[in-house]
A and B are shown apart, each in its own frame.
Chain A
Amino acid sequence: MKTYVKVILFFVFFVAVSAILAALYLYNLKHTDMSKARPDFVVTATGLLKEFEDNEALASAKYINRIVEVEGIIGSINTSGDNILTISLKTENDLSSVICTFPAVADPSTFRAGDRLTLRGECSGFLMDVLLNNCAAVNAK
C-alpha cells in the first residue's frame, strides 16, 4: 500500500474513534455537582419568591436553568417514595416557599426543621412555589 493511502486510512480511523469517544462522553455526561458548582445568583428564599411573584416572566427568564444559591430557614423536610429528599425553605409568604429537591444520594438526617440552610440548585420555575432541582447543601448545620 502506498504511504498516502496508509495516512488517509489512519486519519479516517482516528476521526471515527474520536467521534465514538465523544458521543459516549456526551451520552454518559452526569448532572453538574452542585456542591462544587459556581452559582449564577446568590439570593434569599424570600427574595427569590418575591421576584417570581412580582413578575413571573421576567424571573423565569432570569433564573430558569441557572444555578441559584439560596439561603433560608428550613420549613419542612419530606422523603418520598424513592427516598427522594425534598426540603422547603420558608419565606415571608406563609403559603409559598422555595421547594428544593435533592438527588437520591442525599441524607435527610443531616437536616432539621428550623435550621438556617444555604443550598445550591438548578431553578425549574414557579408553580405555587419556586422549584429547585438537583440541590446540594452548602453549609448544612
Chain B
Amino acid sequence: MTKSGYIGFFSHTSMEDIKADNNQVAGVLDTSTGETVLQALIRSFHFDKALMEEHFNENYMESEKFPKAAFKGKITNFSSVNLSKNGTYDVTVEGELTIRDVTKKVSVKGTIEVATGSITAISKFPVVPEDYNITILGVVRDKIEESRSIGCDEISASLKQNKLIFIILAV
C-alpha cells in the first residue's frame, strides 16, 4: 500500500493547458487477487494558479460537500503479472470510480512495473465532467477538453503483509 500515490489531471485546450497534481493518494493493491482501492481528497489537487484551484474546489468539484474521490476495482488479468519477475506488464482494470457521490463503471488499460522490492502501477482515466454532474458554464466549457485524461503514477511498494504500495490514477 501507499499513502503518497500520485494523480494528475491534464486538459489541453486552445487557450491554455490546465494541469493539477495530487501527491497524497492512498492506495492499496492486494497482490493475491489483483483487487485495488484508491482514495484521494479533492482539496489535495494542487494547481499552479491559486484562483484556478479555488474555482476547481468551489465551483466545480464542490469539495466541501464532496471531499473525496475513490476508485474500487480489480485487475482482470492479474494472473498474467509475475510479481517475482522484474518487468513491465500490460493490464486491464475494471471497477467503479466515484466522484461527487456519482459512481460510474470504468474499464481502463494500464501497466504494472515490477522491480525489486517495489511495484508501480500506472493508468489513465478519461473523465467527462458531465458524467459526474459537474456543470460548467458555456464560456468556460470551451476551455476544457471533453475528457480530461488523468495520468497516474507510481507507488513504491513494500511487499510486507502481501500488500503492495500502489501509485495511482486519477481524473
Q: Which A residues fall within an 8 A CB radius of B?
A: 26-32, 60, 64-65, 78, 80-82, 84, 86, 88, 99, 101, 124-125, 127-129, 131, 133-134
Contact present for B51 and A125 (CB under 8 Å): no
Contact present for B23 and A29 (CB under 8 Å): no
Considering only residues 142-171 of chain B, those with a C-beta below 8 Å from chain A are: 153-154, 156, 167
Cβ-based interface call for B3 (8 A) = yes
Contact of B4 among A26, A28, A29, A78 (CB under 8 A): A78
Contact with A along B57-98 (1 / 0, CB 8 A): 000000010011000000000000000000000000000000
Contact present for B24 and A133 (CB under 8 Å): yes
Closest A residue to B53 using CB positions: A31
B4 contact set on A, CB distance < 8 A: 78, 80, 86, 99, 101
Nearest 7 CB-CB pairings of A with B: A124-B43, A124-B44, A29-B50, A125-B41, A127-B26, A131-B24, A84-B23
B: number of interface residues (CB 8 Å): 24
Contact present for B39 and A64 (CB under 8 Å): no
A86 to chain B, nearest CB (A): 5
Contact present for B49 and A27 (CB under 8 Å): yes
Contact present for A28 and B49 (CB under 8 Å): yes
When chains A and B are docked, how far (Å) is the Cα of A64 from the Cα of B24? 15
B153 contact set on A, CB distance < 8 A: 80-81
11 A-B residue pairs with CB within 8 Å: A29-B51, A31-B53, A64-B43, A64-B64, A101-B44, A124-B24, A124-B43, A127-B41, A128-B3, A131-B41, A131-B43
Contact present for B51 and A26 (CB under 8 Å): yes
When chains A and B are docked, how far (Å) is the Cα of A69 from the Cα of B82? 45
Contact present for A81 and B50 (CB under 8 Å): no
Contact present for B6 and A99 (CB under 8 Å): no
Contact present for A80 and B41 (CB under 8 Å): no
Contact present for A99 and B24 (CB under 8 Å): yes
Cβ-based interface call for B46 (8 A) = yes
B67 contact set on A, CB distance < 8 A: 60, 64, 125
Cβ-based interface call for B35 (8 A) = no
B154 contact set on A, CB distance < 8 A: 80-81
B68 contact set on A, CB distance < 8 A: 125, 127
